[in-house]
Amino acid sequence: MKELTGIRDVKENLVKLIADDWALVSAGDKDKWNTMTISWGGVGELWGKDVVFAFIRPQRYTKEFMDKSNYFTVSFFDDQFKDALKICGTKSGRDCDKIGMAGLTPEYDGEAVFPSQARLVVKCRKIAVQKMDNTGFLDESIESNYRSGDYHFVYIGEIEKVLEK
């Protein structure tokens, strides 16, 4: 993989990549890591930094790794990996070897881990975490996403590196 100068050098539509093509958010270390599919998230500028926003529900196993890790990655894949992303979005690494089932292998960049099969990887240093709740919802329809009261945690990561195949 080659390193790009930064996220601003990515030529693709990042909203489409996250919302339509999906991504994997990964965290952990060389001893143990986990990943999960995301289709909610964003890339932008906050506090004078280029950042990624990732949303994770409290019951997700990946949240444990996100909380323990200083870094996380968001990885994008070619269409041929759509089934792997489906596995990572429907299976829990707490209950099975979903990473093995998906045919993914880890690659490391310092403290960050990502699937080696990714074609685009955004490495982020975690700089903020905030639990969402409905007190800030101005549109009542948003609450329908939280019938169980399992409000997402928002992880904000400063983009430190962008890798592309």
Q: Residue 8 gets which letter from DSSP?
A: G
Question: Into how many domains does the chain fold?
Answer: 1
State the maximum Cα–Cα separation within the chain, in Å, rounded to a whole number: 44
Consecutive 10-residue runs of the chain (165 residues): their mean pLDDT?
94 94 96 96 97 97 98 97 96 95 97 98 98 95 95 98 96
Distance between CA 35 and CA 41 in Å, rounded?
A: 15
**Cross-strand pairs, 157:** 52, 126
Give the DSSP per-residue string, 87-142: HHHHS-TTTS-HHHHTT--EEEETTEEEETT-SEEEEEEEEEEEE--GGG--SGGG
Report the predicted TM-score, pTM, of the whole model to 2 decimal places.
Answer: 0.95
Q: CATH number for the domain including 21?
A: 2.30.110.10
Burial environment of residue 20 by CB neighbours within 10 A (0 to 12, 13 to 18, 19 or more) = exposed
Q: Find tokens 């998906």 and name the residue.
A: 102
CA distance 76 to 85: 10
Residues spanned by the domain of 68: 2-164
**How would you classify the pairing of strands 153-164 and 49-56?**
antiparallel
